[in-house]
Structures are given as C-alpha cells and as structure tokens.
C-alpha cells in the first residue's frame, strides 16, 4: 500500500507490500513515479518484500521548482533509508533510477555490503565516457540545453531537449498533453540530475568492486550512447550480462512492460538460485 515516509525535512510517497524473506526495491526514471513498475509489483509482492518510492520532486511528492536542491536530503539518502539491514535486497532501476541503484550499490560495497543483485535498464552513465567519445559531447549538448532553458524559466523548451533525445522529437511531439504537462513541470529536478551526472567522477573501473549478479537491459532503438555504456559495464563487472529488447527504446518499461517483466523474472531466478 502507499504511505508517506519522513526523511529529514521532507516526506515522500512509497509503495510497500509483501513480507517475503528478500526485499526488492524498484526505482523509477526521471519525471516518473513508482507506478512505472505496476506491471511487476502485484506479482512480486507475493514472493518478496517490495518497496517502490516516488523519488523527490516526482509522482505524488512536491514539485522540485529549480535546479537547486530545496531539501537537506537527496535521492541517495531516500534510497539508503529503504535498504534493509536484516535481509537480502535487490535493486531494480530504470534510467536515472538505474544510476541511483548503481551508486548506492557501489557506496555500500565500499563499506563491505552489496545488494543481492542489480537489474538496470539503460543507466545513462555518460560520465564514465567522459572525454573519451562523441557520446560525452552529446551528453554535454543535451544537458546544457536543458539546464540553460530551466535557468531561464523555459521549462517546455527544456523538456523538448530532454525528451527529444530519449524518445525522438516526433515521439515528444505526439506525446499526450497530460503526460507532457507532468514532464514539463518536473524539469527543475531533471536539470538538477543532469548536474549530478556531470559532476560524477566515477569510472567504469570504480564499479568493478560490484560482484553481485547484474543484468543490463536496453532497447534496440535506444540512442547509441546506451550501447557504449553497456560495453563499459560488461568489460568491468565480472557477473554482468546484457539483454536486448528488440523494437524497444529507452522507455521500454512503459512501451514493452511484458518483455521487461520476463527479463526481470529471469534475472531474479538467476540471482536467487546462487
């Protein structure tokens, strides 16, 4: 069921259900909400303890009005507050949510703790390609347009740059009006997240500390940067594997939920049998 949790000077909505021996934490993408994972929650709460928060600035939480954090806490603190101390836990994330899962896992690994597994859908770890490819230049271009537009108060322009990259200009043009409005209103938080990605000094080699089973998922129609990022992770994570969803793009949890669910089920079977 949905509930409000307190953290520092703010509250956030979190879906929680199930009393299984292992916890699965679902982390949604930028501009989304925990409802992104509806295709999996009902099934997984029968077998696991399930947690699915709305990240700060998204879903039912208060709007994040600018590219500056208005709180004393952030999404890392939010997720750390959900990590159980008494049971194995799995992290499932999409896009920015996948980055959060990776960073939480890496930070915990430095302290001698790791998740039982990671299921990551297209983490935009462009920072790990820093100064090494045209993909970093593309990231700078897109993030620069978005952050500049937000700074000037042009949130619709920022959303066009952001979503135009991930789903294409036509996809954004044809998106339902209500969906567009929600995304446009979230651009202050998205600009903040771009700043976090830009400032992140982590390299692929830094993630080699992770030894848990890791599944990387991507769509065949996603931007080319995604393939370069997957190659970097596969070269440095000893227990990582890649799964491709044909015909899907970056928003595959929304457009291809059944295919994502099937891959998640296979991943959990792999991770829980070891």
Tens-place pLDDT, residues 114-147: 999 999 999 999 999 997 778 999 999 999 999 9
Q: What DSSP letter does each residue of 50-113 carry, written as one string?
A: EEEEPPTTSTTSPP--SSS--SS--HHHHHHTT--SSS-EEEEEETHHHHHHHHHHHHHHHTT-
Cα–Cα distance, 139 to 45 (Å, whole number) = 37
Cα–Cα distance, 203 to 224 (Å, whole number) = 19
Q: Helix/strand/coil (H, E, C) string of 174-188?
A: CCCHHHHHHHHHCHH
Q: 135 pairs with which residues across the strands?
A: none
Q: Domain end: 195, 227, 248, which one?
A: 195
Q: What is the pLDDT of residue 273?
A: 78
Is 230:242 a contact under the CB 8 Å cutoff?
A: yes
Q: 260's torsion region: left (phi>0), alpha (psi -120 to 50) or beta?
A: alpha
Tens-place pLDDT, residues 19-30: 999 999 999 999
Q: Are residues 211 and 179 in the same domain?
A: no
Cα–Cα distance, 96 to 99 (Å, whole number) = 5
Is 150:67 a contact under the CB 8 Å cutoff?
A: yes
Cα–Cα distance, 62 to 106 (Å, whole number) = 29
Q: Are residues 50 and 183 in the same domain?
A: no
Q: 3 pairs with which residues across the strands?
A: 14
Give the tokens for residue 231: 């190659």
Query: What CATH number is attached to the domain comprising 218?
Result: 3.40.50.1820
52 φ, ψ to 5°?
-145, 95
Comparing C-alpha atoms, which of 115, 121, 126 is closest to residue 29? Answer: 121
**Sign for the pseudo-dihedral over CA of 270, 47, 117, 190:** positive
Q: 93 pairs with which residues across the strands?
A: 27, 120
Q: Domain end: 178, 195, 212, which one?
A: 195
Q: Are residues 138 and 269 in the same domain?
A: no
Q: What is the pLDDT of residue 139?
A: 94
Domain residues for the domain of 184 are 134-195
Q: Are residues 138 and 94 in the same domain?
A: no
DSSP state of 221: T
Q: Which residue ranges in the chain fall short of pLDDT 70? A: 274
Q: Are residues 7 and 106 in the same domain?
A: yes
Q: Are residues 52 and 119 in the same domain?
A: yes
Q: Are residues 39 and 162 in the same domain?
A: no
Q: What is the pLDDT of residue 274?
A: 58
Q: Are residues 181 and 83 in the same domain?
A: no
Q: What is the pLDDT of residue 156?
A: 96
Q: Helix/strand/coil (H, E, C) string of 81-99?
A: CCCCCCCCEEEEEECHHHH
Q: Are residues 6 and 64 in the same domain?
A: yes
Q: Are residues 100 and 211 in the same domain?
A: yes
Q: Domain end: 161, 195, 229, which one?
A: 195
Q: Are residues 58 and 16 in the same domain?
A: yes
In sequence order, which residues have a C-beta less than 8 Å from that of residue 168 and are 6 or more positions away? Answer: 249
Q: Are residues 10 and 92 in the same domain?
A: yes
**What total of structural domains would you count in the chain?**
2
């Amino acid at each position: 069921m949905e509930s409000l949790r307190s953290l520092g000077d703010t509250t956030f909505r979190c879906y929680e259900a199930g009393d299984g021996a292992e916890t699965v934490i679902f982390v949604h993408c930028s501009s989304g909400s925990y409802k992104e994972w509806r295709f999996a929650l009902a099934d997984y709460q029968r077998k696991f303890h399930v947690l699915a928060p709305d990240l700060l600035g998204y879903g039912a939480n208060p709007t994040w009005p600018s590219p500056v954090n208005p709180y004393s806490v952030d999404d890392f603190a939010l997720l750390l507050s959900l990590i159980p101390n008494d049971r194995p836990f799995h992290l499932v994330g999409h896009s920015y949510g996948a980055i959060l899962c990776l960073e939480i896992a890496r930070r915990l690994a430095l302290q001698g703790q790791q998740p039982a597994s990671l299921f990551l859908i297209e983490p935009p770890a462009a920072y790990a390609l820093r100064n090494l490819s045209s993909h970093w230049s593309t990231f700078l271009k897109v993030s620069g347009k978005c952050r500049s537009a937000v700074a000037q108060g042009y949130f619709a322009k920022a959303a066009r740059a952001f979503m135009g990259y991930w789903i294409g200009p036509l996809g954004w043009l044809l998106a339902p009006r209500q969906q567009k409005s929600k995304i446009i209103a979230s651009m202050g938080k998205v600009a903040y997240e771009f700043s976090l990605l830009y400032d992140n000094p982590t390299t692929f080699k830094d993630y080699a500390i992770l030894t848990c089973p890791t599944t990387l998922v991507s769509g065949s129609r996603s931007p080319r940067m995604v393939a370069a990022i997957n190659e970097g992770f596969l070269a440095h994570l000893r227990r990582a594997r890649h799964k491709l969803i044909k015909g899907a793009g970056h928003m595959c949890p929304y457009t291809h939920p059944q295919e994502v669910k099937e891959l998640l089920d296979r991943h959990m079977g792999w991770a829980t049998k070891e």
